[in-house]
A and B are shown apart, each in its own frame.
Chain A
């Protein structure tokens, strides 16, 4: 056995060790008590895998410069970003991972793939990496609200067409180009179409469906890394990439289930086409309430459930919400927070915002835990949430959101809905909750309304 073979076996043994750390790390990341340690273990695994690979590096100085620049940019973004911008930040990092695999595949194409299988892998890795990158950039634009495109606009339709063309072209690249070598630079066209296709994949998907898309892109970035591992014959890339692929897939499924829709429906249909089916005009009287009356009711409540939604994130109301919660508790009221899995723009969005405001996570409850005892809740306070508390989902079989699991606040004794205006939610479905006998509407900016309640309590 030559010296180099020895090195490569030692490397592979260390890769196995690193894979084990990745596996335990991601397992621990799934439990509250061990999550911090899990993240640390997986970082350690990464450090070990990268260090041991350094032996093969041809141009160490260039690589160190690359890592240095990446470390500075990544750390600056991670430490500076506001907690409210986390969704778009995760999307952007995700895109960079995809971009790295895109470049890896591109470089491998230029090494002239030695066998057919490797050739196919180059095409697939290019595609998944590229779609992850450009898709994530569009998701970033949508989440940070710098990019606003109508679903029905020409641009959306154009890019959606590119998406389908890119898939056909990928199949052409995989199966045909090796046999009938085309007279043109087909690979460059694949690179471009892949990036355009990723844009087309994400651009038609609306804001409220973002939790699904962002989880799916997360999964893609892992799959891309795993395929790059197959291409480079590298075990640790395959294991780590597959773990990410699996975790993203699980989140995608959880999100889709929480909306009672199939993944295909979310990605390729959207609400718009199904919403036209039935639209019962809701009539009835909306009963507004002002801050001081709301205060009187809250003061006498013994159990309060707060249901935050995307509106709370927009109004940046999480800190006043926590303050109100503390005042209520000091007043002897039991305060809990009902968190719907798809509230907000990414999986767990509300949990992060409330954690930032120092709300302990053990007072956060999930719909299936709180729904059975909803009639013991004195006041349910809905802050900028809409579709996730829409009773049509349980009462109206014709409704587009029928069957979606919701937080059944309409069964609480009193419901306060904090809202700017009477507009409908993301799904475009009218919400009969607003017209219920036990509902009171507190119109205005959520932060100001809650702030008003806090002042009343303090006086």
Chain B
């Protein structure tokens, strides 16, 4: 139980930190921020890597989780980068 309280602490602080960090974002960056954040949510890939694989079902689930998280990671970062490159100052 101890460990969950500790991790819950990390969770709450991180959310709060996120809210503070991004509270004033210019509307130009709304889409890139969303898409860049989206790429970060592909961190599920790390979780997918450590899944157990005792049964065939688990092996299949782990494989699918890795694959879909990878689409999210690669697609997300590339599309964000492509978008940001278009924004130019006068």
Contact = CB atoms under 8 A, between A and B. Distances in A.
Interface of A: 22-23, 25-27, 29-32, 35-36, 38-40, 42-43, 46, 49-50, 53-54, 56-59, 62-63, 65-67, 69-71, 73-75, 77-79, 81, 83, 86, 89-90, 93-94, 96-97, 99-101, 103-104, 106-108, 110-111, 115, 117, 214-215, 218, 221-222, 224-226, 228-251, 254, 339, 341, 346-349, 351-352, 355-356, 358, 360-364, 366
Given A70-B73, A238-B14, A39 B36 contact: yes
B1 to A, nearest CB: 7
Interface string B52-70: 1111011101111111111
Interface of B: 1, 3-4, 7-8, 10-11, 14-19, 21-55, 57-59, 61-90
A101 B38 contact: no
Given A30-B22, A74-B76, A100-B45, A42 B39 contact: yes
Most buried by B among A42, A86, A93, A110: A93
A25 to B, nearest CB: 8
A420 to B, nearest CB: 26
A39 B34 contact: no
Chain B interface mostly helix, strand, loop or mixed?
helix
23 contacts: A27-B22, A30-B33, A46-B45, A63-B62, A70-B68, A70-B69, A74-B74, A74-B75, A101-B47, A101-B65, A103-B62, A107-B61, A107-B62, A221-B38, A225-B43, A234-B47, A236-B46, A243-B15, A247-B18, A247-B33, A251-B34, A348-B31, A348-B32
Chain A interface mostly helix, strand, loop or mixed?
helix
Contact of A97 (B42, B53, B83): B42
A97 B22 contact: no
